């Protein structure tokens, strides 16, 4: 980045500082990962110079001969990888992708049903502070108070009572598998469409370690980073019956020109995700999450639902007598990056909740395995115990850096 260094040394320095931070820390935020060098190069390419309103073969600008080919490649790779009829690769992120689905398939005021945010759902699944909870009538289901798993009897009863236009599966803090078949049964019973938001588990689905929504969902949305390990973008996958409505909702309904550099990077990501190496990575994500959960349980941590089936672990720190924010801050000082998070039926406020949300995609991308997960669990226990002791946390951070240097981060230089 010589030219950036010359033109804007302030921004150059901040980027290099972040680069070192990503190299020297154990990144356990489950929505973060490391993109490959090829994905980074496509994202930073000259394609950012282009403006391309419309779709391949139907643009409002001339000079799209190469852009059309790039987007077509991305579309065809998405359809093949996820086994769907139609793919739209233009949404800027997961939030407008979900918004586009509601805009396409429901009228304002129609009822949608999704998992509540305090129980692990996403804002765009109809939460009241989101536009999706204001334009559409939203009803939220939750998890069982004892098991912290989705109660399908409750979902069915709710769906029969509310008669929703769309039922939404997926979330940001649910550590168990999504049973798309059961959700599909309920949707069919009440004449609803089923939207599967697989943003967190798309890479696990591709890798064969999570159930596949394609046979059951009418529409699938996903971001292209997280476990899929691509750029910050999104896709909408659907059956042919909904293709035209989805495309019109994305453009011209919600967006103008697509981000062509992101489209190219999505295409690269999808090619990488079709390889045997990617499948091995997806399998290891789950193995690592289970190993880390095992270590935390052995050290007295309370885990929501008692463990994990996917890439994600939700910790209730109440038994450790530390609130979520304080725990996350202590871990950050120790070189372990997490985010504080609400837990189901949390008695505390969202800005100061009881829990931590962690996941294993990024550490798995670095090549870490079960042995490293047990060590990470040990450091997490020490850091939470030593919250407030900056010297002790700095010592752990030094040990973390030493281990991180043994596992180079994809796409980043080796220090």
Encoded tokens for 147: 């098991």
CA-to-CA separations, 384 to 25, 297, 327, 347, in angstroms, rounded:
16, 14, 6, 20
The three-state secondary structure class of 70 is helix
Closest CA to 55 of 278, 254, 256: 256
Neighbour count for residue 212 (Cβ, 10 Å): 17
- With contact defined as beta carbons under 8 Å apart, do 310 and 175 qualify? yes
Closest CA to 272 of 202, 373, 376, 363: 202
Encoded tokens for 297: 């349980």
Closest CA to 219 of 241, 200, 191, 204: 241
C-alpha Rg value of the chain to the nearest Å: 21
Report how far Cα 25 is from the mean position of its chain's Cα atoms: 20
**Residues 324, 322: Cα–Cα separation, whole Å:** 7
The values of phi and psi at residue 189, to 5°, are -60, -35
Residue 86's beta-bridge partner residues? 238
Contact partners, residue 254, CB within 8 Å, separation at least 6? 96, 99, 100, 103
Q: Which helix (H) or strand (E) holds 223?
A: strand 219-223
**Residues 310, 120: Cα–Cα separation, whole Å:** 14
Closest CA to 113 of 75, 155, 59: 155
Residue identified by tokens 């030493």 is 402
Active site residues: 51, 53, 197, 223, 226, 232
The three-state secondary structure class of 146 is coil
Closest CA to 330 of 270, 278, 390: 390
**Residues 394, 400: Cα–Cα separation, whole Å:** 10
Contact partners, residue 24, CB within 8 Å, separation at least 6? 335, 400, 401, 404, 405, 415
């Amino acid at each position: 980045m010589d030219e950036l260094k010359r033109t804007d040394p302030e921004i150059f320095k901040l980027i290099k500082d972040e680069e070192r931070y990503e190299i020297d820390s154990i990144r356990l935020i489950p929505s973060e990962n490391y993109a490959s060098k090829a994905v980074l190069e496509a994202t930073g390419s000259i394609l950012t110079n282009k403006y391309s309103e419309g779709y391949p073969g139907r643009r409002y600008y001339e000079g799209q001969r190469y852009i059309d080919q790039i987007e077509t490649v991305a579309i065809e790779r998405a359809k093949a990888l996820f086994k769907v009829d139609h793919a739209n690769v233009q949404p800027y992120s997961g939030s407008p992708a979900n918004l586009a689905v509601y805009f396409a398939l429901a009228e304002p005021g129609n009822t949608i049903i999704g998992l509540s945010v305090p129980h692990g759902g996403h804002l765009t699944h109809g939460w009241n502070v989101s536009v999706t909870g204001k334009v559409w009538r939203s009803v939220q289901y939750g998890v069982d108070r004892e098991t912290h798993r989705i109660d399908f009897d409750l979902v069915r009863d709710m769906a029969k009572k509310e008669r929703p236009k769309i039922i939404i599966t997926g979330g940001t803090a649910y550590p168990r598998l999504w049973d798309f078949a059961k959700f599909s049964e309920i949707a069919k019973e009440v004449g609803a469409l089923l939207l599967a938001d697989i943003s967190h588990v798309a890479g696990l689905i591709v890798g064969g370690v999570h159930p596949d929504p394609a046979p059951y969902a009418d529409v699938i949305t996903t971001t292209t980073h997280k476990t899929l390990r691509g750029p910050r973008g999104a896709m909408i996958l659907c059956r042919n019956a909904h293709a035209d409505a989805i495309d019109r909702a994305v453009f011209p309904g919600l967006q103008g020109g697509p981000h062509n550099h992101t489209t190219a990077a999505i295409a690269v990501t999808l090619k990488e995700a079709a390889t045997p190496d990617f499948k091995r990575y997806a399998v290891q994500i789950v193995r690592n999450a289970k190993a880390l959960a095992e270590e935390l349980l052995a050290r007295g941590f309370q885990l929501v639902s008692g463990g994990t089936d996917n890439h994600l672990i939700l910790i209730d720190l109440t038994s450790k007598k530390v609130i979520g924010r304080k725990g996350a801050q202590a871990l950050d000082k120790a070189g372990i990056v997490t985010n504080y998070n609400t837990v189901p039926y949390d008695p505390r406020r969202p800005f100061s909740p009881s829990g931590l949300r962690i996941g294993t995609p990024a550490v798995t991308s670095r090549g870490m395995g079960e042995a490293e997960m047990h060590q990470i669990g040990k450091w997490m226990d020490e850091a939470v115990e030593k919250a407030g002791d900056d010297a002790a946390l700095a010592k752990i951070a030094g040990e973390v850096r030493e281990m991180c240097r043994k596992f180079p981060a994809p796409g980043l230089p080796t220090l």
